[in-house]
Amino acid sequence: MARHLTTTADLTDDEIEAIFDEANGYLEGQTNQKLRGRLVINIFFENSTRTRSSFEVASRRLGAEVVSLDVATSSESKGETIHDTAANLDAMGASAIVVRHKNAGAPKVLSKYVKASVINGGDGAHAHPTQALLDLFTLRQALGEVKGKKILIVGDIKNSRVANSNIKLLARFGMEVVLVAPPHFLPKRSGVKSAWNIREVIDGASAIMSLRTQTERHEQPIYASLSDYAANFKIAKEALGDRDIFIMHPGPVHRNIDLDDGALSDPRSLVLRQVHNGVAVRMAILSKFVLEY
């Protein structure tokens, strides 16, 4: 029976440690043939730049064949259900299917119709487990021990699958997570400390994770313009001063809305390191899910 990665709760702490150990061996762009002869299918019903290409590179570096389905020309637009599409891909002999979908829960549903391991590449505002794993990996690389360290997650938290997955995973590994957002961007019951003003909580923080405003998930425009939002929530280099604080963002960055030019290019910015590490972490995830089950 294949095992699936729909949320980070599908992995034990020991399994996450093993994934990170393996990922550490891939940081210099190493390749191998562990998945030679295997097929990985990326099926993305929502746009993606980083995640899709990261899974493609990761699959190739493990020697797998990889096919990325162009959803604009796929069968969903012809009325086929997503599980029928997936069952057809499965019949081609896929070992892993990486799926992104606008509906929360879509990867879970799909996993019931296929023999391959389903890996969630982001479902609605629900979860993005591989992003949270690469974020935790990056934080450990930068900070050493993460336990007891404070991270601020800033922006459209309620609509962000990245925030959702990170709140759970980072807290599980002992981080103090503080959410910073205007009230309508805060989830109703997260059980996590929150603030409306970053200045109230920045002292003692080791990292800030900034998020993109998910305008495509808002039923009606919340801000008249993104620059209204930026006036209060943009992370500016100047406001960071000489603090010992790392800056993260899952991308795509709204430049000068989420982060200003200075913060993005500051040596404390981990934004491109996250992308770099993402390939290594996804290699370890793919090899685990394809080879062990």
What is the spatial distance between Cα 252 and Cα 197, in angstroms, rounded to a whole number?
A: 23
Q: How far is the CB of 162 from ligand NCD (least distance, A)?
A: 5
- Judged by CB under 6 A, the residue of 6, 51, 138, 159 near ligand NCD is 51
Nearer to ligand NCD, 4 or 128 (CB): 128
Does 162 help bind ligand NCD (rule: CB under 6 A)? Answer: yes
Does 107 help bind ligand NCD (rule: CB under 6 A)? Answer: no
Does 129 help bind ligand NCD (rule: CB under 6 A)? Answer: no
What is the spatial distance between Cα 177 and Cα 149, in angstroms, rounded to a whole number?
A: 9
Q: Write out the two tokens for 107.
A: 């990867």
Q: Write out the two tokens for 12.
A: 């034990």
Nearer to ligand NCD, 90 or 259 (CB): 259
* Dihedral-angle region of residue 59 (phi above 0 means left; psi in -120 to 50 means alpha; beta otherwise): alpha
- Judged by CB under 6 A, the residue of 4, 44, 107, 122 near ligand NCD is 122
Contacts with ligand NCD, 238-267, as mask; x by CB under 6 A: ------------xx----------------
Q: How far is the CB of 148 from ligand NCD (least distance, A)?
A: 27
Q: How far is the CB of 36 from ligand NCD (least distance, A)?
A: 28
- Judged by CB under 6 A, the residue of 158, 212, 282, 288 near ligand NCD is 212
Does 164 help bind ligand NCD (rule: CB under 6 A)? Answer: no
Nearer to ligand NCD, 51 or 95 (CB): 51
Q: How far is the CB of 79 from ligand NCD (least distance, A)?
A: 26
What is the spatial distance between Cα 66 and Cα 39, in angstroms, rounded to a whole number?
A: 6
**Spatial contact of 145 and 171, defined as CB atoms under 8 Å apart:** no
Nearer to ligand NCD, 47 or 197 (CB): 47
**Spatial contact of 96 and 41, defined as CB atoms under 8 Å apart:** yes
Nearer to ligand NCD, 40 or 122 (CB): 122
Does 161 help bind ligand NCD (rule: CB under 6 A)? Answer: yes
Closest listed residue to residue 62, CA positions, set 90, 95, 18, 91: 95
Residues ≥6 apart with Cβ < 8 Å to 265: none
What is the spatial distance between Cα 245 and Cα 234, in angstroms, rounded to a whole number?
A: 16
**Residue 7 — φ and ψ, nearest 5°?**
-140, 170
The number of residues making up the chain comes to: 293
Does 131 help bind ligand NCD (rule: CB under 6 A)? Answer: yes
What is the spatial distance between Cα 123 and Cα 82, in angstroms, rounded to a whole number?
A: 13
- Judged by CB under 6 A, the residue of 2, 27, 50, 237 near ligand NCD is 50
Residues that bind ligand NCD (CB under 6 A): 50-51, 122, 128, 131, 161-162, 212, 250-251
